[in-house]
Amino acid sequence: MSTVIPKPLGDLIDSLAQLPGVGPRTAERYAYYLLRAEASKADSLVQSLAKLHAGIKYCPKTFALISSDQELSPIYTDPKRNKQQVAVVADPFDIVALEKTNSYSGTYHVLGGLVSPIDNIGPQQLKIKELIQRIDEDKVTELILATNASVEGESTALLITQQVANRPVKLTRLARGLPVGVDLEYADQITLTRALEGRQSL
3 state SS for 4-21: CCCHHHHHHHHHHCCCCC
* Residue 191 maps to a domain: no
Per residue in 34-43, pLDDT tens? 999 999 999 9
CATH number of the domain at 153, please. Answer: 3.40.1360.10
Residue 138 reports pLDDT greater than 90: yes
* Residue 112 maps to a domain: yes
Nearest to 154 by CA among 130, 179, 190: 190
Residue 78 sits in the same domain as residue 139:
yes
Cβ within 8 Å of residue 32, ≥6 positions away: 9
Residue 103 sits in the same domain as residue 50:
no
Higher pLDDT, 120 or 21: 21
* Residue 190 maps to a domain: no
Model's pTM, two decimal places? 0.82
Residue 97 sits in the same domain as residue 155:
yes
Cβ within 8 Å of residue 176, ≥6 positions away: 149, 191, 194, 195, 197, 198
Residue 81 reports pLDDT greater than 90: yes
Residue 201 reports pLDDT greater than 80: no
Residue 39 sits in the same domain as residue 131:
no
Nearest to 31 by CA among 86, 22, 114: 22
Higher pLDDT, 137 or 190: 137
Question: Mean per-residue pLDDT for 185-200?
Answer: 72
Residue 2 reports pLDDT greater than 60: no
Amino acid at 188: D
Q: Determine the structural domain holding residue 30 and report its residue range.
A: 7-56
CA distance 77 to 72: 7
Residue 94 reports pLDDT greater than 60: yes
Residue 44 sits in the same domain as residue 108:
no
CA angle 197, 199, 202 (to 5 degrees): 160
Residue 178 reports pLDDT greater than 90: no
Residue 39 sits in the same domain as residue 81:
no
